[in-house]
Amino acid sequence: MESMIKTWLVMPILFLYASYLHYCVNGKSQVPCVFIFGDSLSDCGNNNNLPTSPKSNYSPYGIDFPVGPTGRFTNGRTSVDIITQVLGFEKFIPPFANTSGSDILKGVNYASGGAGIRNETSKATGFVISLGLQLTNHGVTVSQIATRLGSLDKAQQYLNKCLYYVNIGSNDYINNYFLPELYPTSKIYSPQQYAEALIQELSLNLLALHGIGARNYVLVGLGRLGCTPNAIYTRGTNGSCVDEENAHAFIFNAKLKSQVNVFMKNFSADSKFIFINSTFESDGQNSDRFVVSNAPCCPSKLSGECIPDERPCYNRSEYVFWDEFHPTEASNLLTAMRSYDSHNSGFTYPMDIKHLVEHETKLELESTNEIPSNLGTSS
Ligand SMILES: *[C@@H]1O[C@H](CO)[C@@H](O)[C@H](O)[C@H]1NC(C)=O
Ligand SMILES: *[C@@H]1O[C@H](CO)[C@@H](O)[C@H](O)[C@H]1NC(C)=O
Ligand SMILES: *[C@@H]1O[C@H](CO)[C@@H](O)[C@H](O)[C@H]1NC(C)=O
Ligand SMILES: *[C@@H]1O[C@H](CO)[C@@H](O)[C@H](O)[C@H]1NC(C)=O
Ligand SMILES: *[C@@H]1O[C@H](CO)[C@@H](O)[C@H](O)[C@H]1NC(C)=O
Ligand SMILES: *[C@@H]1O[C@H](CO)[C@@H](O)[C@H](O)[C@H]1NC(C)=O
């Protein structure tokens, strides 16, 4: 679920490619590891073998991905895939469901399509890995890392330098609060109270992550929930966005942003948090980059996912949306590039990912000796 992406300059993107190449040349990523928590916007295969309906490991998903369908809910790379490439990782961060034999020291992706902050979110569609369970899974990874590095202390020192990317919450609305016939939340909470409850539960999870080594957080806000093709088709009037649903995203985002301030005061000595504003629209005078923003590229099922094996639109880069909920790789590219290197503080607050990790690169260089050299061997 992503904002309608409007105008954006091509120039900064070209510059970014130049610097991305530079990072690749010296073969070293800007952070040693990235851990990813979230939903279908970041999932890279965790749902493939789950008894659940949000799945995307079939054609035409992955039509523009090097190895075809993987369980990513888009035609190519997700935003966080692209962010990790820009950070200098040569391989994509593997899904927790398939980490055996892969290098967990570079990070793990726990995201699960349909997942929410709340445990009951998406229950009606089957089993999904909610945020709490994603943290449980991370606990498993942390003890494996401790075994490899020799102690929990060493693991924590190592994890302190990693990036923690958390992009979750859309389903707590789309597959919970907005479905009063299936979930009671809208009868229990006002919109303000619900956003508050979500931010509180998210914060507890972020504190728990801090307890097991997290220090650098990227917290991604919700996109315009009322502007997905699904919302427009099912609840929009005259093909326009559902303002009321967008209002929920704005409330959630404002609270998430102020929670970033709370965290930065509380942890000013040892942690950094940034907020990414996914409802951001640039107000530039550039003409729209995308031609179609209110219809999906692939013919979609009632549930909003692509119909298996149906031919998608020809020019994917002209579409904001791939299916009725998820952005195309072209949208993800813009989101990723401005998350990494934003020229506008309205988009990344209080800094972009590039500045968040700058400090880490320095730290890492200073402490290289602490990291054992036998990292590649498994335990
Ligand atoms: C699982 O990981 C292995 C080794 O990295 C890879 O070859 C395989 O394609 C992966 N499978 C899935 C379903 O991601
Ligand atoms: C949600 O599930 C997690 C993991 O199973 C559990 O630790 C937590 O207590 C649950 N939260 C609620 C509110 O039920
Ligand atoms: C929908 O569009 C029609 C034609 O443009 C207009 O007459 C009507 O008032 C619109 N309805 C709403 C609810 O905006
Ligand atoms: C501040 O940090 C401490 C741990 O260092 C934690 O126990 C406390 O709950 C945090 N408070 C807030 C508001 O995040
Ligand atoms: C996100 O950006 C939009 C402008 O495009 C602004 O209206 C909104 O207030 C911003 N949200 C937050 C939480 O800063
Ligand atoms: C695809 O769309 C982009 C953006 O509108 C356009 O620049 C490009 O020429 C199109 N490519 C083709 C092959 O139509």
Residue 10 half-sphere exposure toward CB, CA atoms < 13 A: 5
Helices 329-340 and 353-366, packing angle to 10 deg: 60
> pLDDT digits over 181-195, tens only?
999 999 999 999 999
Pocket test for ligand 1, best of 72, 98, 99 (most atoms within 8 A of CB): 98
Task: Tell me, yes or no, whether 320 lies in a domain.
Answer: yes
Report d(CA 148, CA 374) in Å as an integer: 9
Look up residue 161 and give its two tokens. 């330098």
Determine the distance separating the centroid of ligand 2 and the alpha carbon of 119, expressed in angstroms: 6
In percent, the amount of the chain with pLDDT more than 90 equals 77
CB neighbour class for 302 (10 Å; exposed up to 12, middle 13-18, buried from 19): exposed
Catalytic residue among 29, 40, 56, 339: 40
Task: Tell me, yes or no, whether 327 lies in a domain.
Answer: yes
pLDDT band at residue 363 using 50, 70 and 90 as cut-offs: very low
Give me the domain span that covers residue 226.
7-342
Within 6 A (CB) of ligand 5 lie 253-254, 257, 277, 279-281, 346
- 172 part of the active site: no
Look up residue 342 and give its two tokens. 């934003």
Task: Return the pLDDT at 282.
Answer: 62
- 343 part of the active site: no
Within 6 A (CB) of ligand 6 lie 291, 315, 317-318
Task: Tell me, yes or no, whether 235 lies in a domain.
Answer: yes
First to last CA, the chain: 39
Catalytic residue among 323, 339, 342, 352: 323
Task: Tell me, yes or no, whether 279 lies in a domain.
Answer: yes
pLDDT band at residue 100 using 50, 70 and 90 as cut-offs: confident
Nearest atom (ligand 2) to Cα of 133? 4
Report d(CA 357, CA 220) in Å as an integer: 16
Q: Return the SS3 of 349.
A: strand
Q: Return the SS3 of 177.
A: helix
Task: Tell me, yes or no, whether 238 lies in a domain.
Answer: yes
Number of domains in the chain: 1
CATH number of the domain enclosing 253: 3.40.50.1110
Nearest atom (ligand 3) to Cα of 237? 13
> Any idea which ligand is nearest the CA of 136?
2
Nearest atom (ligand 5) to Cα of 277? 1
Which one, of 260, 254, 296, lies nearest residue 279 by Cα? 254
Task: Return the pLDDT at 359.
Answer: 65
The sheet carrying 272-276 orders its strands as: 34-38, 163-167, 216-220, 272-276, 348-349
Is the per-residue pLDDT at 264 higher than 90? yes
Nearest atom (ligand 6) to Cα of 315? 1
Pairing verdict, β 292-296 and 272-276: unpaired
Report d(CA 110, CA 218) in Å as an integer: 15
Task: Tell me, yes or no, whether 360 lies in a domain.
Answer: no
Is the per-residue pLDDT at 350 higher than 70? yes
Is the per-residue pLDDT at 274 higher than 80? yes
Task: Tell me, yes or no, whether 351 lies in a domain.
Answer: no
Q: Are 312 and 297 in contact (CB under 8 A)?
A: yes
Determine the distance separating the centroid of ligand 5 and the alpha carbon of 334, expressed in angstroms: 17
Task: Tell me, yes or no, whether 368 lies in a domain.
Answer: no
Report d(CA 360, CA 142) in Å as an integer: 20
> pLDDT digits over 120-139, tens only?
999 999 999 999 999 999 99
Report d(CA 349, CA 346) in Å as an integer: 7
